Amino acid sequence: MSKRVRTAVFPVAGLGTRFLPATKAMPKEMLTVVDRPLIQYAVDEAREAGIEHFVFVTGRNKAVIEDHFDKQFELEHTLASRGKSRALEELGRDLPQAGQASFTRQQEPLGLGHAVWCARELVGDQPFALLLPDMLFRAHPGVLRQMMDAYEATGGNIIAVEEVAPAEVSSYGIVGRGAGPDEGFSITAMVEKPKPEDAPSNLMISGRYILQPEIFSLLAEGVRGAGGEIQLTDAMQVLIRQQAFTGVKYDGRVFDCGSKIGFLAANVVFAMDRPDIAEPFRAELKKLGVL
Ligand code: G1P
User: pLDDT tens digits, residue range 211-265?
Assistant: 999 999 999 998 999 889 999 999 999 999 999 999 999 999 999 999 999 999 9
pLDDT digits (tens, 9 = 90+) for 1-28: 789 999 999 999 988 889 999 999 999 9
The number of folded domains in the chain is 1
Q: CA 68 to CA 84: how far, in whole Å?
A: 19
Residue 267 domain-assigned (yes or no): no
Residue 272 domain-assigned (yes or no): no
The pLDDT value recorded for residue 16 is: 86
Residue 9 domain-assigned (yes or no): no
Phi, psi (deg, nearest 5) at residue 105: -115, 140
Residue 264 domain-assigned (yes or no): no
Q: What residues make up the domain containing 99?
A: 22-258
Residue 86 domain-assigned (yes or no): yes
What's the gap in Å between 172 CA and the centre of ligand 1?
5
Residue 151 domain-assigned (yes or no): yes
> Which residue has its alpha carbon closest to ligand 1 atom 15?
112
Neighbours of 78 (CB within 10 A): 12
Residue 231 domain-assigned (yes or no): yes
Strand partners, 175: 190, 203
CATH code, domain carrying 36: 3.90.550.10
> Which residue has its alpha carbon closest to ligand 1 atom 14?
172
The pLDDT value recorded for residue 200 is: 95
Residue 17 domain-assigned (yes or no): no
What's the gap in Å between 122 CA and the centre of ligand 1?
22
The pLDDT value recorded for residue 90 is: 86
Q: CA 139 to CA 25: how far, in whole Å?
A: 31
pLDDT digits (tens, 9 = 90+) for 135-161: 999 999 999 999 999 999 999 999 999
> Which residue has its alpha carbon closest to ligand 1 atom 2?
173
pLDDT digits (tens, 9 = 90+) for 165-222: 999 999 999 999 999 999 999 999 999 999 999 999 999 999 999 999 999 999 999 8
Q: Give how far the C-alpha of residue 2 lies from the chain's centroid of Cα atoms, to the nearest Å.
A: 23
What's the gap in Å between 76 CA and the centre of ligand 1?
37
What's the gap in Å between 203 CA and the centre of ligand 1?
13
| Ligand 1 shell residues, CB under 6 Å | 112, 132, 134-135, 172-173, 192, 204-207, 231-233, 258
| pTM across the whole model | 0.96
